[in-house]
Homo-oligomer: A and B are copies of this chain.
Amino acid sequence: MREQKQSTTTDAVYELLCRAIIEQALQPGMRLPEDTVGEQFGVSRTIVRHALVRLETMGLVVSRRNRGAFVAEPSIEEAQQIFQVRRCLETEVIRIGIETMSEEDFEQLDAHVRREQAIRGKDGPVSIRLSGEFHILLAQLSGNEVLARYVTEVVLRCSLIMAMYAKSHSSDCAVDEHSQIIEALRTANADLAVSLMEHHLGAVAERAAFKKAPDTVESILSRYGKELAH
């Protein structure tokens, strides 16, 4: 908000790729050749490359030397690690937010939840994205920008994980929980807010954990070594 940070072409490509991955247009494991992406967006490989570097440091893509970039396929272990960090960070967001957030902030959150409710029932990528954006918004409103950046990263990676593993893309239950969290924050009920958030993330994680059984050869092999999968 306070930094105008005039955006460059790289940022735009980065944003687009990011959304495309989160919304599953680009599916996990898919190759991202630099020149292919480049000519799609009408920019040179240089730009694409920078965007891919950023996406790689975020963990949304992995790149192998002289092989190129691929949309990340987080393993179960990696997913668990990400969820663990996310829980840690988001409870901190709650603790900070309860001290610092204003009514104006709460209204922003309310507005977001209404947007989520508007597409209630329509499962799919957009639902996942909106659900994630609630958490990102919450983190931003905490006022700690560093924290917000990390939350953004883990939420995006979680979105990818959800898209990969969740058997249903439904996020219905989550929306109500979002409202409850806002209310707990409003009433400055720290313990409740934290436990709500933990429960919420636990629920999200569980829906990811007990998903599609590893019924294909590929999915089994992918556990034992990504490098062989391609």
Chain A residues with CB under 8 Å of chain B are: 6, 8, 49-50, 53-54, 57, 59, 65, 78, 81-82, 84-85, 88-89, 92, 96, 144-147, 150, 154
Give the CA-CA distance A53 to B57 in the complex, in Å.
10
Once the chains bind, are B96 and A92 in contact (CB under 8 Å)?
no
Once the chains bind, are A6 and B65 in contact (CB under 8 Å)?
yes
Give the CA-CA distance A88 to B144 in the complex, in Å.
13
> Known contacts A57-B54, A57-B57; is A144 also within 8 Å of B8 by CB?
no
- A96: nearest chain-B partner, CB-CB: B84
Once the chains bind, are B53 and A84 in contact (CB under 8 Å)?
no
- A89: nearest chain-B partner, CB-CB: B88
With beta carbons under 8 angstroms apart, the residue of B8, B54, B57, B146 that contacts A78 is: B146
Give the copy number. 2
Once the chains bind, are A147 and B85 in contact (CB under 8 Å)?
yes
Contacts of A154 in B (CB 8 A): 146
Once the chains bind, are B6 and A82 in contact (CB under 8 Å)?
no
Once the chains bind, are A84 and B144 in contact (CB under 8 Å)?
yes
Give the CA-CA distance A157 to B157 in the complex, in Å.
23
Contacts of A96 in B (CB 8 A): 84
Once the chains bind, are A145 and B81 in contact (CB under 8 Å)?
yes
23 contacts between A and B (CB under 8 A): A6-B65, A8-B65, A49-B50, A50-B50, A53-B53, A57-B57, A78-B145, A81-B145, A81-B146, A81-B147, A82-B146, A84-B96, A84-B144, A84-B147, A85-B89, A85-B92, A85-B147, A88-B89, A88-B92, A88-B147, A89-B89, A146-B154, A150-B150
With beta carbons under 8 angstroms apart, the residue of B8, B53, B146 that contacts A50 is: B53
- A5: nearest chain-B partner, CB-CB: B65
Contacts of A65 in B (CB 8 A): 6, 8
Looking at A49, A78, A81, which has the most chain B CB atoms within 10 Å of its CB?
Answer: A81
Contacts of A84 in B (CB 8 A): 92, 96, 144, 146-147
